[in-house]
């Protein structure tokens, strides 16, 4: 086993443990921070697989957007005094059952459509090393900042307006 496989296994374990922590945490803020650790671990796995743009997008959307807004919402709306997540056993049982059914459905679809392609162990490392010089991020960034700059800026303005709208609505309720 080489260092790349060791890193993949390590980050995989981090993702699984932090995702389980999201599930089992009783406090909302700790659950949100566990979700942050999960998303950072998934981004690290994308980097290790050579998907630099997917990793950067994942960081920008989930870590930079969703998790920060989740923490902002929790801290802005709720009192921080021991908010506990209360869940019944029947909901956990139905959630686990639906999750298992979903995983079985997706697995059978992947196997039926023959979507799994086996790659030799040393192929992944060569892909990552060869992608270091030819990143897709440079071309996508060039397009965003030249041809699609108007849409990029309008999206940012729209998100800022939405955030201000939420702040105004929550501020009026208090």
CA gap 120, 127 in Å, rounded: 12
73 shares its domain with 96: no
Q: What is the CATH number of the domain that holds 29?
A: 1.20.120.1200
The pLDDT profile of the chain, 174 residues, written as one tens digit per residue, is 788 888 899 999 999 999 999 888 888 778 888 888 898 999 999 888 888 788 888 888 887 787 777 777 777 776 655 555 566 666 777 778 887 887 888 777 667 766 555 444 444 444 444 445 556 777 777 887 888 888 778 888 888 888 887 777 777 655
**What does the pLDDT read at residue 120?**
43
56 shares its domain with 112: no
13 shares its domain with 66: yes
Number of domains the chain contains: 3
Q: Which domain holds residue 140?
A: 135-174
**What does the pLDDT read at residue 171?**
72
102 shares its domain with 49: no
122 shares its domain with 91: yes
């Amino acid at each position: 086993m080489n260092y790349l496989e060791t890193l993949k296994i390590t980050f995989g374990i981090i993702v699984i443990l932090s995702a389980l922590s999201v599930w089992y945490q009783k406090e909302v803020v700790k659950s949100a921070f566990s979700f942050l650790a999960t998303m950072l671990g998934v981004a690290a796995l994308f980097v290790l697989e050579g998907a630099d743009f997917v990793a950067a997008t994942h960081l920008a959307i989930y870590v930079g957007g969703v998790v920060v807004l989740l923490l902002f919402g929790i801290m802005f709306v709720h009192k921080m005094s021991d908010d506990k997540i209360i869940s019944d056993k029947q909901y956990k049982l139905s959630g686990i059952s639906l999750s298992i059914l979903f995983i079985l459905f997706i697995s059978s679809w992947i196997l039926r459509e023959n979507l799994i392609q086996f790659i030799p162990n040393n192929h992944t490392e060569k892909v990552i090393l060869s992608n270091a010089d030819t990143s897709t991020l440079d071309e996508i960034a060039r397009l965003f900042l030249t041809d699609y700059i108007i849409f990029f800026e309008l999206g940012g303005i729209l998100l800022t307006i939405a955030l201000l709208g939420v702040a105004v609505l929550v501020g009026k309720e208090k």
